[in-house]
Amino acid sequence: MITDHLSFTGKVAIVTGGATGIGYATALQLAKLGASVVICSRTVTELEMAATQIAMDSGSQCLAVPTDVKNEDACIALVQKTVDTFGRIDILINNAGGTRMGPLESIPTKGWDSIFDLNVKSAYILTREAGKHMIAQKSGAIVSISSGAGVNGVKGGAHYSAAKSALQMFTKVTAAEWGKHGIRANCVAAGAIASDRVLEAWRVAGLDMDAMSSAMPLRRTGTPDEMANMIVFFASDAASYITGQTISVDGGPSLGGIPDA
């Protein structure tokens, strides 16, 4: 049964951006299923509060490690702290990411580089560093969080769309190269997931959440927990024969053609 493969007892997981939204929901699910979890973000107070709450709600260990994932030395230190504390790394969730929207003609080079550093380079460094330990132990699961922008593109987000598309291809190549070591790598592309920070970003950008969700087959936005369900599945032994894939959690495809009655 699938439930037999959803235990994470004895496993250690790193979740970047784990203090809020999708990252928090994922870390909490992993912890409730038995994993020892390391969460990171830049905001120390928020991060420590999240770790305390996850530990209280799950009964599992949750370690907070303040980290700027755009800083290579900080990423290396995060992985080393995890190994020093728990002795291993079984799961890496590359969740930290984000963007600031803007028309292509006004995106500065610094802004382009910053979005790639946050969404792609950080995942590369963490995958490389965690991968050293996974290769040595001949097992591991890596799940990176992409976006519908990486699948279909989004106007006003040329840098973000390109970065998330690159993350998906990086995931595919990682899976191809490291499958021989017993390591799986997959991607989950988020659609309109209504976390607090996404809702605020939509508000600032002047986007109409109700209008966006009305065009989706399921007629609503998603929740961080619904994203976490897919992420945890990919990280689990239930997905033991799935690697190199990107799956969208987006409420379904919006197609043209005959309008709904």
pLDDT tens digits for range 54-100: 999 999 999 999 999 999 999 999 999 999 999 999 999 999 999 88
Residue with tokens 């950080």: 122
For residues 174, 233, 247, 221, the Cα torsion angle rounded to the nearest 10 degrees is: -140
What average pLDDT is seen over the chain? 93
Q: What is the pLDDT of residue 213?
A: 75
Examine the pLDDT at 261 and tell me if it is beyond 80. Answer: no
Q: Residue 44: which of 66, 68, 63, 24 has the closest Cα?
A: 66
Locate the domains of the chain by residue range: 8-245
pTM of the model: 0.94
Fold designation for 8-245: Rossmann fold (3.40.50)
For residue 128, the one-letter residue type is R
Query: 160 catalytic, yes or no?
Result: yes
Measured N-to-C along each axis, helices 122-137 and 158-178 cross at an angle, to the nearest 10 degrees, of: 10
Angle at Cα 189 formed by Cα 186 and Cα 190, nearest 5°? 140
Label each residue of 203-225 as H, E or C: HHHCCCHHHHHHCCCCCCCECHH
Strand arrangement of the beta sheet that strand 183-190 belongs to: 62-64, 36-40, 12-16, 91-94, 140-147, 183-190, 246-249
- Asked whether the beta carbons of 175 and 243 are under 8 A apart, the reply is yes
Least confident residue range of 111-115, 145-149, 200-204: 200-204
Q: What is the pLDDT of residues 174-229, one digit of tens each?
A: 999 999 999 999 999 999 888 777 666 666 667 677 777 777 888 888 999 999 99
The pair of three-digit structure tokens given for residue 137, joined into one six-digit string: 């132990």
Of the pLDDT bands very low, low, confident and very high (cuts 50, 70, 90), residue 4 is confident
124 pLDDT higher than 70: yes
Burial class for 24, CB neighbours closer than 10 Å (0-12, 13-18, 19+): buried
Q: What would the two tokens of residue 170 be? A: 């990086």
pLDDT computed for residue 198 by the predictor: 66
pLDDT (average), residues 236-241: 98
- Which residue has better confidence, 234 or 149? 234
| pLDDT band at 165; cut points 50, 70, 90 | very high
Helix (H, G, I), strand (E, B) or coil at 178: helix
Please report the pLDDT score of residue 9 as a whole number: 97
Cβ–Cβ < 8 Å for 23, 3: no
Task: Pick the catalytic residue from 24, 124, 160, 241.
Answer: 160
